[in-house]
């Protein structure tokens, strides 16, 4: 397959902006008097795991509130805490420092828990429903954010314009060289499917017809 097949019937859209998978964020404690890295940023639901290389603690400055933790004295092994509440949470080693508010600077760390997205994005409609690669479609919906990405069945749009929280514009991507794709007519209206090749070889024998399936 030397040439790309360039088509443009856009039927399914998926917006992505935030990962739903919880992450595990590592911090190494020791062998010196260090937390490495000293500050980490996590999303709500993520877990920080401290791995101890010498005798220290990882202890939250605050003894009350939504995120309180204390590893106790450990010289090996791990201690984990899952953070669910957005905010800044400084912590320290009881053996070698004191909380920030008491002047601690020597063996202090911080966990920043990022703000929750208020609501996930939703799509109401897309116009036009069919569009050639390289053309721009308009997506209407709710809770769009500046910096949103748009994918067409897993293929990212090369250009997304954030108009406002309810409107995005996105350029329909090419189907990559070698990518299998299928076009389906879900209704009974006549559909005209125009396939445009581009590249240095445009022969019909460059297209692999993997499966031509007719649904009654
Ligand atoms: Cu220590």
Q: How far is the CA of 62 from the centre of ligand 1 (A)?
A: 17
Q: Residue 115 Cα, ligand 1 centroid: separation in angstroms?
A: 30
Entry pTM: 0.51
Q: What angle (nearest 5°) sits at the alpha carbon of residue 100, between those of residues 99 and 106?
A: 85
Percent of the chain with pLDDT over 70: 85
Ligand 1 centre and the CA of 102: distance in Å?
16
Query: 29 CA to middle of ligand 1, Å?
Result: 8
pLDDT digits (tens, 9 = 90+) for 27-74: 999 999 999 999 999 988 899 999 999 999 999 999 999 999 999 999
Residues around ligand 1, an ion, CB closer than 5 A: 56, 93, 95-96, 107
Please spell the DSSP secondary structure of the chain, one letter per residue. --SEEE-------EEE-S--S--EEEEEE-SSS-EESSEEEE-TT-EEEEEESSSB--EES-SSSS---B--SBSSSEEEEE--S-EEEEEE-TTT---GGGT--SSEEEEEEPPPPSS--EEEEEESSS--TT-EEEEEEE---TT-EEEETTEEPS-EEEEETTEEEEEPPPPPTT--------SSS------EEESS---GGGS---------
Q: What domains appear along the chain, each with residue ranges and CATH number?
A: 4-17+119-206 (2.60.40), 24-113 (2.60.40.420)
93 C-alpha to ligand 1 centroid (Å): 5
The 10s digit of each residue's pLDDT in 189-208 is 777 777 777 778 888 787 78
User: Residue 131 C-alpha to ligand 1 middle, in angstroms?
Assistant: 61
């Amino acid at each position: 397959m030397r040439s790309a097949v360039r088509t443009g019937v856009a039927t399914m859209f998926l917006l992505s902006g935030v990962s739903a998978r919880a992450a595990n964020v590592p911090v190494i404690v020791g062998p010196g008097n260090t937390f490495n890295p000293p500050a980490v940023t996590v999303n709500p639901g993520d877990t920080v795991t401290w791995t101890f290389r010498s005798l220290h603690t990882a202890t939250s400055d605050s003894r009350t509130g939504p995120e309180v933790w204390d590893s106790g004295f450990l010289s090996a092994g791990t201690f984990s805490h899952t953070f669910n509440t957005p905010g800044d949470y400084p912590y320290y080693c009881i053996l070698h420092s004191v909380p920030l508010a008491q002047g601690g600077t020597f063996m202090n760390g911080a966990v920043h828990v990022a703000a929750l997205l208020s609501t996930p994005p939703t799509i109401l409609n897309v116009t036009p429903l069919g569009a050639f690669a390289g053309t721009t479609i308009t997506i209407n919906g709710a809770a769009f954010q500046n910096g949103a990405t748009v994918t067409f069945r897993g293929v990212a749009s090369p250009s997304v314009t954030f108009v406002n929280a309810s409107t995005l514009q996105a350029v329909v991507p090419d189907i990559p060289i070698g990518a299998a794709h299928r076009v389906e007519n879900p209704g009974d209206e006549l559909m005209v499917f125009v396939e445009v090749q581009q590249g240095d070889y445009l022969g019909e024998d460059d297209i692999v017809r993997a499966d031509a399936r007719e649904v009654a």
